[in-house]
Structure 1
């Protein structure tokens, strides 16, 4: 079969003679119709970061990435109930950038696709589920102003979910260095945007969200209750890293930072704002049981438009171009399409 193989940073290619996976007990085999390139895949591609967690190693030692995919079940392992050959499913597991991939049957890794949801939209289910968990962790209150730092597929999903769930909050401020992504953020529900390459981040945020009449520990801190930090850290970043900016943005005492973005490497960061303002920093990784189904339900009911976020589609043979497109700063979501005849 055909499969994408990761060799070293910058070296990724399609192998047309990969071994067809065997389906084990408790698994199904999926013919992949669409597989997204995740930000963590980019970290691996650029800096070898998180490599062991992001690939499926086949019997010949080939390292196959891809963990956000959709497709059709072609084989069912012993003991599997509730899933049958021919059914459309979302899969979450490593090795999805291939013609075929095995997936264990459990609510965290496999779920049926509603009939009116396309394969490409369904392949964005996992990132939307990630956003649902972040929102739950944020424990939002009526009137809270929030910031979404980094509006790729994850950050945009947070904004879409905030609107779809009709959460009663104040401002939704999107921050990114890409004007193209910021424009999409406004389309899907952000009230305001900031591009820190062209605007002073703190003063612009204060002008948008207002400030609190507090003189200590910070003079008139910005009235932002929650920052969803979806940007992470890239080695080529200049200026303060997003997490440090998030700590400076959020209000004292009850301010919360939900940290999701992945990190390519260790970094130095000033944590004093967290201490002096006594704010809370929460890590978020993945999603809870049921979030995949809820994400698909929101798509099926027309509450979120995920196809709007698919900016590029590539065949497996063009995987290097696909990764370069995903990393250019303008793309929202790049999809690999292994088995569809037309893109």
Structure 2
């Protein structure tokens, strides 16, 4: 079968002679129709970060990424009940394997869910990142009228914005922060009220102009109740990490910062506002099983338009070009498309 092979940072290629997996007990085999390139895949592609968590090795030694995909069940392992060959599903793997014609998926509610009628394979391949966003929203416990900031409006940050709107939450300003105009434009279309380009000046000052500045015993804030950090730390990006700016922005009391974006290296932070304002900082990794289903239900009902966030589509054979495109300034979500040929 065909499979992507991550060789070293900056180098990935397509192979044509990878062994097709066989299902173990409690597994099914999915014939992949579409697989997304995740932000974590890009961290790995740039620097090798998280490599041990993001690839699945074939018997030939090929290291296959891809953990968010959609396709059709073609084989059932021993002990699998409640699923059938020909069923359309979303699969999520803990350690890659999805950028291939076939992939084994454990049968459990965190990693396998049926696709509703009317949802395309391409849209369904974005289920996992939307579910990630829904968990972040749940953890943030957004209060009525709070101002919200989303750092990094790739597919995860855009999903946070879509999820807030689809859940009908009554928020104040919903501010997207990024360095790419194409992503900021998409954020406004998805429901953000304001877009801030971090390359156009100090982010605190730009947001303070929108929401106002508050000063008190605990310091200075831009009246932000919740910050979603979907960017993390990318080595080549100038300026302080978003987490440091989030601590400046956050309310003088009661603020929450939800961290999802990956860190490509150690960082140095000014943490005085953490002591002064005493915000709650929450990590978020993954989702609850019901959020996978909720994400697909939002697509099926039309509450979210995931197709509008797919900016590029590539054949598996062009995986190197697909990764290059995902790193480009105009990329939102890049999808790899497969067919039945081996």
Q: TM-score range by the shorter chain?
A: over 0.9
- Shift in Å, 1:60: 2.7
1:146 and 2:140 matched? no
Deviation at 1:211, TM superposition (A): 3.1
Q: Identify the residue that residue 127 of structure 2 maps to in structure 1.
A: 125
**Distance (Å, rounded) in 2 between the aligned partners of 1:166 and 1:101:** 36
Determine if the alignment matches structure 1 residue 218 to structure 2 residue 186: no
- Runs of 4+, deviation exceeding 6 Å: none
| Offset at residue 340 of structure 1 (A) | 6.8
1:39 corresponds to 2:46: no
How far apart, CA to CA, are the structure 2 residues paired with 1:236 and 1:108?
Answer: 33
Provide the secondary structure at the position in 1 that maps to 2:199.
coil
Q: Which residue of 2 aligns with 1:297?
A: 297
Decide which of 196, 199, 215 is 2:198's aligned counterpart.
Answer: 196
**Partner in structure 2 of residue 163 of structure 1:** 165
- Aligned pairs for 1:10-89 (under 5 A) are 10-89=10-89
Ranges in structure 1 where 5+ consecutive residues have no aligned partner: none
2:101–2:340 Cα contact (<8 Å) kept: no
Which stretch shows the higher mean deviation, 291-300 or 52-61?
Answer: 52-61
C-alpha RMSD over aligned residues: 1.1
Counterpart secondary structure, 2:224: coil
Q: Match of 2:253?
A: 253
Residues 340, 270 of structure 1: alpha-carbon distance in 2 compared, 3 angstrom cutoff: farther
Gaps of 5+ in 2: none
Q: CA deviation at 1:217?
A: 2.5
Find the aligned partners of 1:157 and 1:19 in 2 and give their Cα distance. 35
Matches within 5 A, 1:171-186: 171-186=173-188
Mapped to 2, the partners of 1:165 and 1:319 lie a distance apart of 35
Q: 1:272 is matched with which residue?
A: 272
1:119-157 Cα offsets, whole Å, 9 max, x none, are: 000000000000000000001111111001100000000
Counterpart-to-counterpart distance in 1, 2:75 and 2:289: 24
Give the TM-score of the pair, scaled to structure 1. 0.97
Q: What per-residue deviation string (whole Å, max 9, x for no partner) do you get for residues 261-283 of structure 1?
A: 01111111122211111111100
* Separation in 1, partners of 2:114, 2:212: 44
TM-score normalised by L of structure 2:
0.97
Aligned length: 339
SS at match of 2:198: coil
